[in-house]
Amino acid sequence: MGILRFVARTMGRISTFRSYQFVVLMAAALAVVAFYYFGTDRQNFSTTTKRIKQTQANHNANRNDADLTVDTKLAASPETVERDEVRGIPRTELGKTNTGRHYHVLMMFTKVDKSRSLQDKFKVAMLSMVTHADFQDGEVLVLHFVSDPASQELGKSMLQEFLKDATFKYEVLFHDVVELTHKLFPIVEAMQKHFSAGSGAYYSDAIFFLSVAMHLIMPENLTHIVQLDLDLKYKTNIRELFQEFDNFPPEAVIGIAREMQPVYRHTFWQYRKENPRTKVGEPPPDGLPGFNSGVMLLDLGAMRTSALYNQLLRPNNVAKLAEQYRFRGHLGDQDFFSMIGMEHPELFYALVCGWNRQLCTWWRDHGYADVFQMYYRCEGPVYIYHGNCNTPIPND
C-alpha cells in the first residue's frame, strides 16, 4: 500500500508538472501569435484581438449573407423575360419595369430578421436613398438583395413601406444566399486563410468575398453593378454614383474609396518594418492606406477582360502576394483589394472620400491617435455617410 501511495503521489506531481508545462507553452504560443498579428507594443494585444474580432463580426453582419441568378433582361435589354424563364428559377419581384436603362445595386441582407440593429440601419439607408433618388424617364433602379428566406420575407414587407413614396421606377430581386455561396466557395476558398478572422476553409464565410468574383457569377450581359453596405445614409441622388464609372482610367476594374483609419498601417506592420521607406499603409494623398469596401463600383465587363485581375485571383498568386507583404487580414474582399492595390494600384479608381465618408474612430483609441487624423480627414461634400463599426450617423 505504501508503494502504491508513493506511485500515486509521484504520478500526481508529474501530471501537475505536465499541466504547468502545457500552460506555459500555451501562453508562449499565444504571445507569439499576438506579436505576429499586431507587431507593436503600442497597445494591449489580447484586447485588440477581441475588439478586432468583434469589429469583423459587425462588419460581416452589416455586409450580410445568396442566388444571384440574375435574368438576362437586367442589362437594359428591351425584351421582356418571364420569371419562369430565368434559368428555371423563380425570382421575387416588387415593382414593374422591362424597358430603359437599368442601374443595378446589390446589398447583403442576411440574418436581418434576427437583428433589430440591422433593421434600423436598413431603414435609414433605404429611406435616405428614396428621398434623394431621381431617375429620368425610362430608367430603372434594380435593387438586388442577397438574403436568407426569413430575412427575405421581412425585407419584402419593409420595402413595401420604404418604397411607397418612390418617384422612380424600380425592381427588387432577392437572391438565395445558399445558392450564391455554393457558387462562390470554389473561387475564393484559397483566399479565406489570408483574409478571414479564423482559420481553415469557411463555407459560409465565402459570401464576404462576393465582389471579388462578381464578374464570374453574373451573366455576361450585366456589365456594371454597385455593391453597398447596409449601414449607409445617402445625402445625394444614387444615380450620380453610377456616373463615376465614366471616370475610370483604362486599366481600372473597381471604383472604391480609401480606408479612412490606419487599419492597414497596422496590418502591414511587418512589411513596413522590413521596408521603412515604403508607402504601404501610409496616409493619403501620397501613401497607400488601403481600401474600404462599404461602397464599391464593379465594372464587371472590365473585370472579365482584365488578364491581370483574373491572374491575381489564382490561389498561387494570392499566396505569393500575401507572403510578399507579410499579410494576414480579417475583412474579406476589402483585404484582398487592399493587398493587390499595393502592388497594382492601376486596377482601382479611387472614389473621393465623400462617396464613402466612414465615421468609425476605433483605431484612434487603440494606439494610433498621433496619426489618426491624417487618415480620417475628408474635405469636400459628403454624398454617403458610412456608419461603420456601429458609429451613429449624423441627422443632418
- Greater confidence (219 vs 10) lies with 219
Confidence grade of residue 172 (pLDDT, cut at 50, 70, 90): very high
Is the pLDDT score of 15 beyond 60?
no
Mean pLDDT within 29-48? 39
Mean pLDDT within 91-113? 73
Task: State the pLDDT at residue 200.
Answer: 52
State the number of CA atoms in the 13 A half-sphere of 111 facing the CB: 11
Q: And the C-alpha cell for 256? A: 472604391
| Whether residue 155 is found in the same domain as residue 43 | no
* Mean pLDDT of all residues belonging to the chain: 81
| Whether residue 275 is found in the same domain as residue 348 | yes
Residue 262 lies in a domain: yes
Of 53, 70, 88, which residue constitutes the final position of a domain? 53
Residue 68 lies in a domain: yes
Of 53, 68, 93, which residue constitutes the final position of a domain? 53
Residue 85 lies in a domain: yes
Per residue in 108-133, pLDDT (tens digit) is 999 999 999 999 999 999 999 999 99
**DSSP code for 280:** B
CB 270 within 8 A of CB 305: no
Number of domains in the chain: 2
| Whether residue 22 is found in the same domain as residue 81 | no
Residue 396 lies in a domain: no
Is the pLDDT score of 296 beyond 60?
yes
| Whether residue 30 is found in the same domain as residue 138 | no
Task: State the pLDDT at residue 374.
Answer: 98
| Whether residue 157 is found in the same domain as residue 193 | yes
| Whether residue 60 is found in the same domain as residue 144 | yes
| Whether residue 41 is found in the same domain as residue 188 | no
Is the pLDDT score of 270 beyond 50?
yes
Is the pLDDT score of 10 beyond 90?
no
Of 53, 77, 92, which residue constitutes the final position of a domain? 53
| Whether residue 199 is found in the same domain as residue 106 | yes
CB 64 within 8 A of CB 106: no
Nearest to 329 by CA among 320, 339, 319: 339
Q: And the C-alpha cell for 73? A: 433582361
DSSP 310-351: HHHTSHHHHHHHHHHTT---SSTHHHHHHHHHHH-GGGEEEE
Instruction: List Cβ neighbours of 141 (8 Å cut-off, separation of 6 or more).
Output: 102, 103, 105, 133, 135, 168, 169, 170, 171, 238, 239
Task: State the pLDDT at residue 193.
Answer: 86
Residue 367 lies in a domain: yes
Residue 395 lies in a domain: no
Per residue in 316-358, pLDDT (tens digit) is 999 999 999 999 888 999 999 999 999 999 999 999 999 999 9
| Whether residue 60 is found in the same domain as residue 34 | no
CA distance 148 to 112: 9
Confidence grade of residue 61 (pLDDT, cut at 50, 70, 90): very low
- For 13-22, 202-211, 324-333, 379-388, which range has the lowest pLDDT when averaged over its residues? 13-22
Confidence grade of residue 196 (pLDDT, cut at 50, 70, 90): confident
| Whether residue 374 is found in the same domain as residue 241 | yes
Is the pLDDT score of 213 beyond 70?
yes
| Whether residue 236 is found in the same domain as residue 342 | yes
Instruction: List Cβ neighbours of 378 (8 Å cut-off, separation of 6 or more).
Output: 260, 353, 354, 357
Confidence grade of residue 99 (pLDDT, cut at 50, 70, 90): very low
Is the pLDDT score of 376 beyond 60?
yes
CATH assignment at residue 180: 3.90.550.10
* Boundaries of domain holding 35: 2-53
* DSSP strand pairing (291-299 vs 224-228): antiparallel
Confidence grade of residue 184 (pLDDT, cut at 50, 70, 90): very high
CB 382 within 8 A of CB 295: no
Per residue in 123-165, pLDDT (tens digit) is 999 999 999 999 999 999 999 999 999 999 999 999 999 999 9
Mean pLDDT within 298-306? 98
- For 74-83, 113-122, 177-186, 338-347, which range has the lowest pLDDT when averaged over its residues? 74-83
What predicted TM-score, i.e. pTM, was given to this entire model? 0.78
Confidence grade of residue 261 (pLDDT, cut at 50, 70, 90): very high
Q: And the C-alpha cell for 47? A: 484586447
CB 355 within 8 A of CB 313: no
Task: State the pLDDT at residue 14.
Answer: 43
Q: And the C-alpha cell for 324? A: 510578399
Amino acid residing at 259: E
Q: And the C-alpha cell for 257? A: 474609396
| Whether residue 129 is found in the same domain as residue 41 | no
Selection from 57-66, 199-208, 235-244 with the highest mean pLDDT: 235-244
